[in-house]
A = this chain, B = another copy of it.
Amino acid sequence: MTTRESPQSRLQSAPGTQCSALLTDWYQLSMLDAYYQLDMQETAIFEFFVRRLPKQRSFLVAAGLEQVLEYLQNLRFTPEEIDWLASTGRLSSIGLQRLASFRFTGRVFAVPEGTVFFASEPILRVEAPLPEAQLVESRVVSLLHYQTMIASKAARCRLAAPRAQLIDFGMRRAHGAEASCLASRASYIGGFDSTATVEASYHYGIPLSGTMAHSFVQAHELESQAFLNFARCHPQNIVLLIDTYDVIRGAQRVVEVADRLRSDGIRVQGVRIDSGDLETAACGVRAVLDSGGCEDVQIFVSGSLDEYAIERLVSAQAPIDAFCLGTRLAVSEDAPSLDCAYKLHQYADRPVRKLSQYKESWPGPRQVYRRYDPSGYLAMDVLACEDEVIDGRPLLQEVMSNGRRSCEPPPLSEVRRYCAEQMEQLPPKYRTLEHVLEAPVKVSQGQHRLADEVGQIPH
């Protein structure tokens, strides 16, 4: 069920890398206009982080950086967009002029995609003239938020099923076209094996999977004829859907059909069950298949699956070879948003912080130093000022300077491998679906000192 990798060139036009400069919040444009009028163009430092993790998450997996860098590099206003902005009568002529020639020229530091991280840790830092660093907020948040949420959900599914195949079926219930493709990408990073979304395979080279729909069976008068027809038209990768009428009778028909197909040299790869009690159904179907000489036919299951359902089925030793996840993966059903932010930490060399109730932020540019124990497990992250001297491996690295990428993006398969390695370094107590209250993170003395100083500045 795999297909060859797409050529690198197509990645440039993938969904999520091309969007209008108008895909932003209105206040970004009115603030930009003010910054230009006031000539406030000193360097601003913004950081993206997740304030608090959803109560169902003990760690997150960073994803979306590739699309952020593409966005920053290609960001332009078209003449038509400038004309329209002018027609609103809300921006100054100096503002419109500056937007017409707008380019992102800043530096970006980030953790690699696939990195495990915790609440409050920056995973991206933008250093750029204030108007540039400001304008990009809405889209940067959108890209990092969604893919990080999905990669994290996918990594949990992989924890629940270390060995089974995991397949993304989420396209139709994901929230729109871009989410469909980015869900495939992010779930692949988090440990999924393949996707059913054709466009995601085309753009990102993700292996493609697919079975058949109930309508195919219904469009035939006889279920067994539908099975035979499908198999003969698609002699590779045959996965037959067996629950349109009755799942056990469906399995019995697969046995008959597999026998007839065997003489034509055609092998049925698997069956899919999409309804009912999946544990009971899988056991019943396995027995029918085995007693009918179809020991090598795999069982795929789908239907409202998530990491919790997978864990139950795996613990019960249900004979399932592949889990196909749709809605609950693609919308991250139990936690469909992250409490994330892109906040100003410094302007014109002056560290700043926000003191809003329950939403205070740390001041100044920061770095995360990761320490490991002798067994190679993550022992502690230290959240420090960027210029402090701290033990540990610094996670944020320069990925863009002068508005250009510092290096070529790694292949997606490499990102996926790196994420799997990150998951292996996660201490066992975080490698479960249960919520672990405390994160292995401490804040440096230097950072505390700076926060106190900045907090005391009278405004």
Bound CA–CA A174/B274 (angstroms): 29
Q: Is the CB of B90 within 8 A of A230?
A: no
Q: What distance in Å separates the Cβ of A54 from its nearest Cβ neighbour in chain B? A: 11
User: Which residues of B have CB within 8 Å of A181?
Assistant: 23
Closest chain B CB from A32 CB (angstroms): 10
Interface presence of A176 (CB below 8 A): yes
Among residues 219 to 239 in chain A, which have CB atoms less than 8 Å away from a CB atom of chain B?
219, 221-223, 229-230, 233-234, 236-237
Residues 193-222 of A contacting B (Cβ, < 8 Å): 196-199, 201-202, 208-216, 218-219, 221-222
Some 22 contacts from A to B, beta carbons below 8 A apart, are A16-B177, A23-B181, A23-B197, A27-B212, A29-B210, A31-B215, A38-B233, A40-B219, A44-B219, A90-B234, A137-B172, A139-B172, A142-B180, A146-B176, A173-B340, A174-B175, A214-B356, A218-B347, A223-B459, A243-B357, A275-B358, A336-B336
Q: Does A163 contact B (CB under 8 A)?
A: no
Decide if B172 touches A34 in the complex (CB within 8 Å).
no
Which of A81-89, A116-124, A401-409, A440-448 touches B?
A81-89
Shortest A414–chain B CB gap in Å is 22
Among A22, A81, A92, A142, residue most surrounded by chain B Cβ atoms (within 10 Å): A142
Residue A49 CB within 8 A of the other chain: no
Q: Taking A26-B196, A198-B22 as contacts, is the C-beta distance between A92 and B354 under 8 angstroms?
A: no
Asked if A171 lies at the interface with its beta carbon under 8 angstroms from chain B, I say yes
Q: Is the CB of A355 within 8 A of B130?
A: no
Picked from B6, B92, B130, the residue with its CB within 8 Å of the CB of A219 is B130
Q: Select one of B23, B169, B352, B358 contacting A177, CB under 8 A.
A: B23
Q: Are B180 and A179 touching (Cβ within 8 A)?
A: no
Given known A26-B198, A90-B234, contact A31–B174 (CB-CB < 8 A): no
Chain A residues 304 to 322 lying within 8 A of chain B, measured CB to CB, are none
- Check B37–A233 contact: CB distance below 8 A: yes
- The reply on A141 being an interface residue by CB < 8 A is yes
Flag if B22 contacts A210 (CB, 8 Å): no
Which residues 1-53 of A have a CB within 8 angstroms of B? 3-4, 6, 15-16, 19-20, 22-31, 33-35, 37-38, 40, 44, 46
Mask: chain A, 85-104; 1 = CB below 8 Å from B; 0 = not: 00110101000000000000
Please, which residue of chain B has its CB at the minimum distance from the CB of A233?
Answer: B34
Interface readout for A329-370 with B: 1 if CB under 8 Å, 0 if not?
001110011101001100100101111111100000000000
User: Is A33 a contact partner of B169 (Cβ separation < 8 A)?
Assistant: no
Q: Is the beta-carbon distance between B337 and A333 smaller than 8 angstroms?
A: yes
- With CB as the reference atom, state the residue of chain B lying closest to A457: B221
Interface positions of A from 112 to 168, Cβ below 8 Å from B: 130, 134, 137-139, 141-142, 145-146
CB contacts (< 8 Å) of A35 on chain B: these are 219
Q: Please name all residues of chain B whose beta carbon is closer than 8 Å to the beta carbon of A353 when the two chains form the complex.
A: 218
